[in-house]
Amino acid sequence: MSFKSIIQDMKGEFGSISRKGFGLRSRSLKLVEDESMTIVDALKQSCWANMPPELLRDVLMRIEASECTWPPRKNVVSCAGVCRNWREIMKEIVKNPELSGKLTFPISLKQPGSRGSLIQCYIKRNRSAQTYHLYLSWNQASNDDGKFLLAAKKCRRATCTDYIISLSPEDVSKGSSTYIGKLRSNFLGTKFTIYDAQPSNGGVLATKCRPFRPGSMKRVSPRVPAGNYPVSHISYELNVLGSRGPRRMQCVMNAIPASAMEPGGVAPTQTEFLVNKTDSFSSLPFFRSKSARMGMDSCESHSETMMMLMLKNKAPRWHEQLQCWCLNFNGRVTVASVKNFQLVACSGEENGEDVIVQFGKVGKDAFTMDYQYPISAFQAFAICLSSFDTKIACE
């Protein structure tokens, strides 16, 4: 038997197991437990149950190397969903986006992008529902939306606007188990704060929705976010009626030190979702291809002494023939818009040349979003959402 046929046979095995165990979502706990037993029984009856660990690792490594793009990469996720043993092996084999440039598991969206190259994504806007969906890659000649990554929903309030960000396009709410953060603006739409549902490894100051009361600590349900942790602050310069030219913006990344941009620098990397305690991956649409409390004092002193990374928009140049402001998006942006921008790292008065995040319009409700290290997809998405918000004092 050739190795290729072995791989195909193996895919069929865990594919059938995956369909049996992960096909249904909204059931009672008892039914979920019954399905889990079905998975275990099916795995025990599989010819791969007694495979030597060394051979199993080699087979899984070959699967990971062969399935580089979506939707074929869903086979890698299916392997991780077979059982705990397979999952641990796949977590060791699959590298984070910084090293591989690939988005595989949901936690990849909270990890820094690849070094030296932009990860290409795009955003679809639904004006009536006030929702925004982020997808990985996109071919304008194809009807396929690409790989779904994140969803956001705009929620207007009396003095601010919130953009709730979720891993699920169907359940975009702060009380959902798929909630991972939010973007909040001030009344004028000039200042924004990005909140993460869990602290980064770099450590940030935690803010709670309710004041903390000693003695009132209770075990929080895994379906409820533990708190909001500010990881970035975005500000737009006042520019009434556009009298000062194009928009000017800057982002202070609270959770990323400025040293991350230096040779050998390291950006904080989350390795797991703290609020997700289930063993099943199927409840998250990320896997389906579409064709506690921190020490407040210590965190505050750490954030005050840490030199934070600052991003500024790249200044456009005036084109005499076209009579408009222009930026080089290398073909990724095709429609002129006040929302278009490129962000570069800045140190003092000097701005870097490498684009960290770029965002631009390609259709009526379609926008491209590209990002790279040290920014994560979640952070880049939130920054781009700030460009959609109405800015009374900036235009």
3-state secondary structure 334-377: CECCCCCEEEEEEECCEEEEEEEEEEEECCCCEEEEEECCCCEH
Q: How far apart are CA 348 and CA 145, in angstroms?
A: 40
More reliable by pLDDT, 164 or 296 = 164
Residue with tokens 């631009």, as numbered in its chain = 360
What number of other Cβ atoms are within 10 A of residue 306's Cβ? 17
Q: Per mean pLDDT, which range of 100-114, 190-204, 329-343, 347-361 is the poorest?
A: 190-204
- Whether residue 12 is predicted with pLDDT greater than 80 in this model: the reply is no
Cβ-contact 306, 299 below 8 angstroms? no
- Whether residue 209 is predicted with pLDDT greater than 60 in this model: the reply is no
Confidence of residue 344 (pLDDT cuts 50, 70, 90): very high
What does the pLDDT read at residue 224?
Answer: 41
Global pTM? 0.78
- Whether residue 46 is predicted with pLDDT greater than 50 in this model: the reply is yes
Nearest to 103 by CA among 160, 147, 141, 40: 147
Count, residues in the chain:
395
- Whether residue 220 is predicted with pLDDT greater than 50 in this model: the reply is no
What number of other Cβ atoms are within 10 A of residue 318's Cβ? 11
Give me the chain's average pLDDT, please: 77
Q: What is the mean pLDDT of residues 171-198?
A: 91
User: Which residues share a beta bridge with 366?
Assistant: 124
Q: How far apart are CA 21 and CA 280, in angstroms?
A: 9
- Whether residue 140 is predicted with pLDDT greater than 90 in this model: the reply is no
Q: Per mean pLDDT, which range of 101-105, 225-229, 253-257, 308-312 is the poorest?
A: 225-229
Q: Tens of pLDDT along 119-128?
A: 999 999 999 9
